[in-house]
């Protein structure tokens, strides 16, 4: 028994300088802390991060309505605690408590119980006999909602597919550096900036950006002797309006978009394409997966929003072959694990992901290893990103 003794919530900053919530959970002989991140290109079907009145209103709701119910419960019954959080909130999308308040408590609780048992979180979550280090997906160049004046496609990612944990994360960091060198050459007189996740941003067309990242990945891959690849997160809902996908120089119909993405996959040997179509187009996703799913990951982020119900529909329709996993899209650890389990049982791959507004919390590294995810998408550089990447190095040591 790991009796819940007390829970404290506080408002802290995320990496964009916005308020977010941090939870401290005390159980008998154990302590856990988790702070919740926040997205900018959020899916329409995610739970809401905070109630209308913001972080403070969410914390107040929790203190007034939930705390008393949880104190004295056995913290090892994660599912019961998570059901109670949903029940007391009483809305389908955590609009009273805020999904970020729920997720902070839910994950901090698991960390507290793991601590009481003297286990690292990845062991407590997974109990896997042979856990392995996931491939890091590092955003090195981008735009969309994460950067002013950048590319239309949100993220161009470097993916290290070989090496130990440090070699993999270092390879992505070197690609990030190579991209800077390429941008300096391309824009000798212009200032070059970074977006919210630390990826470079510049006034480039999407195809120019892709060829710069492809070149950088090939160079680092050769230099280090590691297999590497390029991935995209199009975040296509963000540039879909009135039935068309709007690029800087043209707009595409859904049919043309499918053709365009399939062509990019072949031309650049892409390893993954995330959200290549808008978040309600399950059919279009299925069509694209049919075409390229044999040679490329088709990842649903805004499409599935880590929601087991939406994933189930997607699996039935053959809408993708991989799912992005973000704890605060669904609000509890239990539902997140449910989604992962469902994905793996259908042969879908999983990629555990950060949000664009992050905290220095390293926990998602444990989630990724614990569930046996194929990948972890958590940036390439920057303190709130390297917090997770460096944790992978420590976890590998423990393995």
Please say whether the beta carbons of 303 and 314 come within 8 A: yes
Structure tokens given for 294:
């044999």
Nearer to ligand PGA, 78 or 237 (CB): 237
Catalytic residue among 22, 178, 197, 279: 197
β pairing state of 251-252 and 228-233: unpaired
**In angstroms, rounded to a whole number, what is the distance separating the alpha carbons of residues 105 and 116?**
16
Please choose, out of 36-44, 83-91, 201-209, 286-294, the segment that lies near ligand PGA by the rule CB under 6 A.
36-44
3-state secondary structure of 52: coil
Asked if 233 interacts with Zn ion (CB under 5 A), we say yes
What is the signed CA dihedral for 318, 324, 328, 331, rounded to 10 degrees?
40
Minimum Å gap between C-beta 2 and ligand PGA is 32
Minimum Å gap between C-beta 144 and ligand PGA is 8
Q: What are phi and psi of 332, to 5 degrees?
A: -140, 155
The entry of Zn ion, ligand PGA, none that residue 40 binds, CB within 5 to 8 Å by partner kind: ligand PGA
- Provide the sign of the torsion angle of the four alpha carbons 64, 61, 353, 319, taken in this order: positive
Question: Which residue, among 110, 95, 15, has the nearest Cα to 51 in the 3D structure?
Answer: 95
Minimum Å gap between C-beta 399 and ligand PGA is 27
Contacts of 388 (CB under 8 A, 6+ apart): 354, 362, 364, 365, 376, 378, 379
Catalytic residue list contains 219: no
Minimum Å gap between C-beta 210 and ligand PGA is 17
Structure tokens given for 342:
């469902």
Please choose, out of 55-63, 73-81, 179-187, 350-358, the segment that lies near ligand PGA by the rule CB under 6 A.
350-358
* Count of residues in contact with ligand PGA, rule CB under 6 A: 11
Please choose, out of 89-97, 117-125, 213-221, 270-278, the segment that lies near Zn ion by the rule CB under 5 A.
270-278
Nearer to ligand PGA, 108 or 325 (CB): 325
Site mask, Zn ion, residues 280-309, x = CB under 5 A?
---------------------x--------
- Which residue's Cβ lies closest to ligand PGA? 39
The entry of ligand PGA, Zn ion, none that residue 42 binds, CB within 5 to 8 Å by partner kind: ligand PGA
Among 21, 40, 70, 81, binds ligand PGA (CB under 6 A): 40
Asked if 279 interacts with Zn ion (CB under 5 A), we say no
Please say whether the beta carbons of 299 and 351 come within 8 A: yes
Nearer to Zn ion, 106 or 154 (CB): 154
Contacts of 126 (CB under 8 A, 6+ apart): 369, 370, 371, 372
Minimum Å gap between C-beta 359 and ligand PGA is 13
Minimum Å gap between C-beta 322 and ligand PGA is 13
Nearer to ligand PGA, 70 or 235 (CB): 235
Among 86, 338, 355, 388, binds ligand PGA (CB under 6 A): 355
3-state secondary structure of 118: coil
Site mask, ligand PGA, residues 223-242, x = CB under 6 A?
----------x-x-------
β pairing state of 272-274 and 297-300: parallel
Degrees, nearest 5: CA angle 129-134-136: 165
- Strand locations in the chain (E): 4-13, 19-27, 30-35, 135-142, 155-160, 193-194, 200-201, 228-233, 240-241, 244-246, 251-252, 272-274, 297-300, 322-325, 349-353, 375-377
Degrees, nearest 5: CA angle 65-329-380: 130
Please say whether the beta carbons of 296 and 270 come within 8 A: yes
Catalytic residue list contains 326: yes
Minimum Å gap between C-beta 277 and ligand PGA is 14
Catalytically active residues, by annotation: 197, 326
Residues that bind ligand PGA (CB under 6 A): 39-42, 145, 233, 235, 301, 353, 355-356
């Amino acid at each position: 028994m790991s009796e819940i003794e007390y829970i404290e919530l506080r408002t802290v900053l995320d990496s964009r300088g916005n308020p977010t919530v941090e939870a401290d959970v005390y159980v008998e002989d154990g302590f856990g802390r988790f702070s919740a991140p926040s997205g900018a290109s959020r899916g329409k079907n995610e739970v809401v991060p905070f109630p209308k009145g913001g972080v403070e209103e969410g914390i107040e709701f929790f203190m007034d309505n939930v705390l008393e119910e949880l104190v004295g419960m056995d913290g090892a019954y994660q599912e019961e605690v998570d059901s109670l959080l949903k029940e007391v909130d009483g809305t389908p999308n955590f609009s009273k408590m805020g999904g970020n308040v729920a997720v902070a408590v839910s994950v901090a609780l698991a960390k507290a119980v793991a601590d009481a048992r003297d286990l690292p979180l990845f062991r407590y979550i997974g109990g896997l006999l042979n856990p392995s280090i996931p491939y890091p997906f590092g955003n090195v160049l981008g735009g969309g909602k994460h950067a002013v004046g950048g590319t239309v496609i949100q993220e161009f990612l470097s993916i290290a597919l070989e090496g130990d944990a440090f070699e993999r994360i270092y390879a992505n960091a070197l690609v990030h550096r190579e991209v800077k060198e390429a941008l300096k050459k391309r824009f000798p007189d212009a200032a070059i900036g970074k977006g919210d996740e630390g990826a470079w941003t510049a006034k480039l067309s999407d195809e120019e950006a892709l060829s710069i990242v492809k070149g950088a990945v090939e160079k680092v891959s050769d230099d280090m002797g590691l297999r590497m690849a390029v991935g995209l997160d199009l975040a296509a809902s963000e540039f879909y309006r009135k039935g068309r996908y709007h690029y800087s120089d043209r707009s595409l119909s859904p049919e043309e978009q499918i053709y365009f993405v399939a062509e990019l996959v072949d031309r650049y040997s892409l390893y993954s394409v995330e959200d290549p179509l808008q978040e309600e187009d399950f059919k279009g996703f299925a069509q694209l997966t049919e075409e390229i799913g044999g040679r490329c990951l088709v990842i649903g982020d805004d499409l599935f929003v880590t929601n087991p119900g939406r994933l189930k529909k997607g699996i039935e329709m053959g809408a993708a072959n991989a799912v992005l996993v973000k704890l605060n899209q669904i609000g509890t650890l239990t539902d997140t694990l449910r989604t992962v389990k469902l994905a793996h049982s259908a042969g879908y791959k999983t990629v555990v992901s950060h949000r664009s507004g992050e905290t220095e919390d390293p926990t998602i590294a444990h989630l990724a290893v614990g569930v046996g995810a194929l990948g972890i998408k958590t940036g390439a550089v920057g303190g709130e990103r390297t917090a997770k990447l460096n944790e992978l190095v420590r976890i590998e040591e423990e393995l």
